[in-house]
Homo-oligomer: A and B are copies of this chain.
């Protein structure tokens, strides 16, 4: 029996086709089969036209093989920390889904151009979907980044899934501060098996950034537009995944990109950033997990908030509407939080722009009676990660407020003017 993944020869009335039999996508009617040609393109063939189909080579799961790469003097040492995701995903021909499969060594085999930019130490941190990455992974990653910097790496690349990359990049930004070299988060929106995959250009520009960028910040390195010619570097605390499938899904929020990196190795500065230096990195993995992020909506039952008081949460980030407003009947809850010693940080579900307590009466009430901490122009996600970090440092309400409203690593812009949709 012919199975997906088998290499097959299909004879039709019009000719012969050789390729890998693909699992049938849901949208393709049952009266045709699809094979992946040697060129990488998929081809559908109507069943009624098929004269015969032979298996040339049955499907066999390939185990990862790592080629030995010679050390090149004069090239910088770069670390690649792999945590799974589409950038290291392959199609499972049996279920038709994709799964993390490629071993870290294969990165360099996949993108030969990487070799001209550096010597790589690749390290498999975990093999986890980005939607499962949480604070324990952040701590593990932060420690490894710190250790790799101490070992003299010129840049650290972290590969992972895209889903929560902005949360993770924000976490690393806070956990390893005072960077002497860049930390680069990179991922792919489309599977390596697809012709339109962004895995190759993304890995390449991440390596170029690690080797050659003069900046020393934690950044996300992804497509700047649908044009397939350059990536942009976005500050890790000012990024957000803004599209489910486009390659240019990550956008800077209330910020400009820091730089543009093309596939030939050219880097153009776009805005100001912290430069590489001999500064001593500071590792600080103390965080408080008992923090929730709550988005309000019309008619939200204030009792929902009571739950977090009862469960003794240590901090709450609210994504309110507009300048950071909550419905009238939620305002008393804010006071309850304050009396319970639980800091509440206000952000906006508009995503772009800055919260402001002083424009409307509601904001003033929230500020003066609810003692709400206004999160300036931080995204709800960055404010959430930051509150976890800040509560790891102090539980003092005044100090929490002070730290939340001060820019620690560039997460708060002094003016909101830039890079709106």
Contacts and interface: CB of A to CB of B under 8 A. Distances in A.
Interface stretch (A45-53, A200-208, A324-332, A401-409): A324-332
B353 A246 contact: yes
A403 B168 CA distance: 36
A421 B251 contact: yes
Contact of A243 (B293, B319, B324, B352): B352
Interface in A298-354: 298-301, 303-304, 307, 311, 319-328, 348, 350-354
B289 A353 contact: no
Interface in A29-58: none
Interface stretch (A108-116, A131-139, A277-285): A131-139
Contacts of A362: 129, 131
A330 B361 CA distance: 38
B98 A360 contact: yes
A125 interface: no
A298 B245 contact: no
A376 B355 CA distance: 30
Contact of A298 (B164, B242, B294, B325): B164
A134 B298 contact: yes
A242 to B, nearest CB: 5
A300 to B, nearest CB: 8
Please state the number of chain copies in the assembly: 2
Nearest to A189: B322
A361 B132 CA distance: 13
Instruction: Determine chain A's interface SS by DSSP, over half rule.
Output: loop
A355 B299 contact: no
Interface in A102-136: 129-135
A360 B97 contact: yes
A185 interface: no
A276 interface: no
Contacts of A311: 301, 303
Interface residues of A, number: 71
Contact of A163 (B307, B325, B353, B356): B325
A292 interface: yes
Contacts of A322: 130-131, 161-163, 241, 244
Interface in A232-262: 241-246, 249, 251
A297 interface: yes
A294 B294 CA distance: 8
B361 A135 contact: no
A131 B327 contact: yes
A323 B244 contact: yes
Contact of A132 (B99, B168, B293, B328): B328
Contacts of A132: 327-328
B245 A135 contact: no
Interface in A168-187: 168
B135 A299 contact: yes
A317 to B, nearest CB: 9
B246 A420 contact: yes
21 contacts: A25-B358, A96-B358, A97-B364, A98-B359, A98-B360, A129-B325, A130-B322, A131-B326, A131-B327, A132-B327, A133-B298, A167-B298, A242-B420, A244-B322, A244-B323, A245-B416, A249-B353, A289-B299, A293-B297, A295-B295, A297-B384
Interface of A: 25-26, 95-99, 129-135, 161-164, 167-168, 241-246, 249, 251, 289, 292-295, 297-301, 303-304, 307, 311, 319-328, 348, 350-356, 358-362, 364, 381, 384, 416, 420-421
